Structure 1
Amino acid sequence: MLEERLVFRISDTELERRWQAVRAQMKAHGIDVLVMQNSNEFKGGYIRWFTDVAAKFDGPSTVIFPVDEPMTFITSGARHGRRTPAPGSLYRGVGQVLTSPYSIADCNTDHIDGELAVEALSSVRHERIGLVGQGTMRYSFGAHIQRRLPGAEFVNASDLVDRLKAIKSEEEISLIRQSARLQDEVWLDVLNFIRPGLREYEITTHAYRQCQLRGSTDGLILSGSAPLGQAAVKGHRHLQNRVLRQGDQFTMLIEVNGMGGYYTELGRTCVLGKASTELLDEYGIAVAAQEATAARLTPGASPAGIWSEHNAYMRGRGRPEEARLFCHGQGYDLVERPTLRDDDTMLVAPDMNIVVHPTYATPSVYSWTCDNFLIRPHGAERLHETPQKIFELS
């Protein structure tokens, strides 16, 4: 039975809310149908937001969303597959599921998902087609549908959906709070597990297990270690082979989803012994930078202003300006809008889930902190409860 297999299911009421909001915007912009495609769960938020079905790796999944008819869901599977989902199945709001075997690693199948999309689009009104998340579509897919439907007008509808997706409902906020709580618990578990003699990947493997035992289904855990006096830069799994020694520092970023697939991320540093004055002082600068940004996360604030003020803050303390993305929205995606940089036009609004992780490195210190904030009418509420400190372990 489906209910026995699913880790979590978003409510029908929530999905209906999203569909209704999108269709109102489509009608206002004269868009007949939306097309979106995702190929991984880390940044597969578009199709999940519309369907509550997680994207899978390798074989991109595509959703066709007409303004006044049920959706079509396209995924890799049996050749010439076509079925109508039964009531209560995985595919809610979907009128048909189309399948055929294809893979991003097999150039012989580059056209297949595009051809299935053309079939679906041809059966509905498609004079004006809105493409959602063009950066998540493979080139062969987009080129194929535009070549096969030369009479259609293609427009970028990402901003239309992004502005709806960024504002979280009360149901979503409840799940986001649970994700933050999960990460708080896992960091505490890591502090009780870590010890000299372990390799970094052994610690992150333990952390992954603890996340999944608590309901996470996907995400990343980055880590890094070094003796005091060296920058403990965090990295992915293939950079996690170092053996920890007494006196080392260890930093970890837990950016996994929780129940329902919603992402938050928590980052902290610990020392297997006593922290140096330099590490404590630099961490204090990172926390102050985060607090300054959080104070600016008020409804109506502009990303450009927040970006500029953060870099002015860093310059004023003689620390490197931010050249990466230090503050951004989250939801079904690890990174979603608003991206708090100088070229995003989406203003901060109530009920956004925003992570703030000011980060910088010197030759001797890697300094950072990472927490999520929920935007409320009065300002930002920090969701993580883990103390903001360097954890000293005996």
Structure 2
Amino acid sequence: MTTTIPAEEFSARRQRASAAAKERGLDALLVCSRGGGTLDRYADVFYLTNFYTHFPFIPDFANNWSGRAHTFLVLPVGGDPRLVIDVPDDGRIRLDDGTVDYTDFVVEGAIEALRRAGLGKGRVGLVGGDVLSFTMAARLAEALPDMTLLAADDIVGELRAIKSPAEIALLRQASRLGSRMIEAMMEAARPGASHGEVVAAGLDVLVPAGGVLYNSFMASGVGGDPSRFSRNNFPTWGSDRKLEDGGWIRLGISGALNGYVFDLARAKAIGPVSKRQVEFLEAAKACVDATIAAVRPGATAGDLGAAGLDRQEAMGFPITGVFSAMGHGVGLGWDAPWLARGVSREIVPNMVLSVERTISRDGYLGDFEETILVTENGPELLTDATQRYW
């Protein structure tokens, strides 16, 4: 049975966001999100209203439409919220205390909503600044020249970092689906299979269950020969090189079920495993295990990051590459905190964290990632995929 979040919880989220805006001296929040069938930046409006637009992004067409694939929520302090959408409500919007405007002219609708709320000279916190395009921002400034727009992503970000019981149930369901998906993919990863065939096996599990794929980071190779390292950028499963006996494969998958994200990774040998392959496979898992073991009352995100990275260096693998964290919060996307050295954010119960590490050198690679719930008594695994294939 799918868990649903009651309307009262969405209302409480908006009240907390509005209170935080008031405390900061803001008159309102303007929350901007983008859907379009992707998982990139839908989360903030979804978190506050349960609305997602599936319409794809298309350029504005004067006198016909504007802001397609975008959604705006105007959340005045002490006033009624107004949601501006570009596709009809399918009955899932949770905004009993506000108004929904369905329009082809989303940008104009947002401007009108701000005017109706009396914010023409207000101080408005913008949530979703990376979603608001240059053109949209210019049109807002032109229409409302006396309104001050200020960055406020952290207001909703702080709320999203701590999960409710209903959210935890949804994340548990998503993590279990992701676990079944990656197991199907690992089973399909045999000599002669392509990356695309491996992904197809996972989609056979994901799609019938109502899930959506965000990405599948894939790489394979023949250990000891970096020149035969196989991967592809667009799509990530597009490599035409077949898996070979004696090689390895890593799968880092992410997707969503009911909007809530799963994120996990596994790696294995193709055919018989060698001692050298086991070294890398075990090293990645050991870093993740060390990080999870550091979860305790009073620990910080920096403590967790240091635990895993210190373990990596102690095993003789330098910290290289573009991702220096041991993981991140997860919910309706990538949430706070980042598990990296020096981050002072305290780890508290009801955070959900994805803990990850990739170890690579000399044409070998190990990859491992789990999702955990932080409880009063420590960590609880939400992902339950097979851990070792060696």
Relative to the length of structure 1, the TM-score reads 0.83
Larger deviation: 207-216 or 34-43?
34-43
Query: Which amino acid counterpart does residue 129 of structure 2 have in structure 1?
Result: Q
Tell whether the 8 Å contact from 1:36 to 1:137 is kept in structure 2 after alignment: no
Q: Is residue 107 of structure 2 the alignment partner of residue 97 of structure 1?
A: no
Unaligned runs of 5+ in 1: 1-6, 78-82, 102-112
Q: Is residue 109 of structure 2 the alignment partner of residue 116 of structure 1?
A: yes
Cα distance in 2 for partners of 1:8, 1:387 equals: 25
Spell out structure 1 runs of 4+ moving beyond 6 A: none
Instruction: Report what 1:267 is aligned to.
Output: 265
Where 1:263 maps in the other structure, the secondary structure is strand
- Deviation at residue 64 of structure 1 after TM alignment: 1.9
Cα distance in 1 for partners of 2:41, 2:107 equals: 21
Instruction: Report what 1:151 is aligned to.
Output: 146
Query: Which amino acid counterpart does residue 183 of structure 1 have in structure 2?
Result: G
Cα distance in 2 for partners of 1:145, 1:296 equals: 47
Where 1:312 maps in the other structure, the secondary structure is helix
Larger deviation: 115-124 or 190-199?
190-199
Distance 1:204 1:355, change over 3 A: same
Cα distance in 2 for partners of 1:271, 1:206 equals: 18
Distance 1:342 1:247, change over 3 A: closer
Deviations 1:80-131 (A, max 9, x none): xxx9x7xx83333150324226xxxxxxxxxxx4433221101104212111
Once the two structures are superposed, the pairs formed by residues 214-293 of structure 1 within 5 Å of their partners are: 214-230=209-225, 235-236=232-233, 237-238=235-236, 239-258=238-257, 260-293=258-291
Once the two structures are superposed, the pairs formed by residues 1-394 of structure 1 within 5 Å of their partners are: 10-40=5-35, 41-56=39-54, 57-58=56-57, 59-76=69-86, 89-93=91-95, 94-100=98-104, 113-126=106-119, 127-230=122-225, 235-236=232-233, 237-238=235-236, 239-258=238-257, 260-321=258-319, 323-324=322-323, 325-333=325-333, 335-342=334-341, 346-389=345-388, 391-392=389-390
Larger deviation: 159-168 or 223-232?
223-232
Deviations 1:189-227 (A, max 9, x none): 234434333211121122123111122134222222222
Distance 1:73 1:12, change over 3 A: same
Cα distance in 2 for partners of 1:202, 1:30 equals: 54
Distance 1:344 1:316, change over 3 A: closer
Distance 1:235 1:117, change over 3 A: same
Instruction: Report what 1:109 is aligned to.
Output: none
Cα distance in 2 for partners of 1:63, 1:279 equals: 51
RMSD (Å) for aligned C-alpha atoms: 2.6
Where 2:12 maps in the other structure, the secondary structure is helix
Deviations 1:349-378 (A, max 9, x none): 210111011113212211220110111123
Report how many residues are paired. Answer: 364
Identity across aligned pairs (percent)? Answer: 23
Tell whether the 8 Å contact from 2:53 to 2:85 is kept in structure 1 after alignment: no
Cα distance in 1 for partners of 2:191, 2:347 equals: 43
- Deviation at residue 234 of structure 1 after TM alignment: 5.5
Relative to the length of structure 2, the TM-score reads 0.84
Unaligned runs of 5+ in 2: 58-68
Where 1:198 maps in the other structure, the secondary structure is coil
Distance 1:288 1:65, change over 3 A: same
Query: Which amino acid counterpart does residue 196 of structure 1 have in structure 2?
Result: P
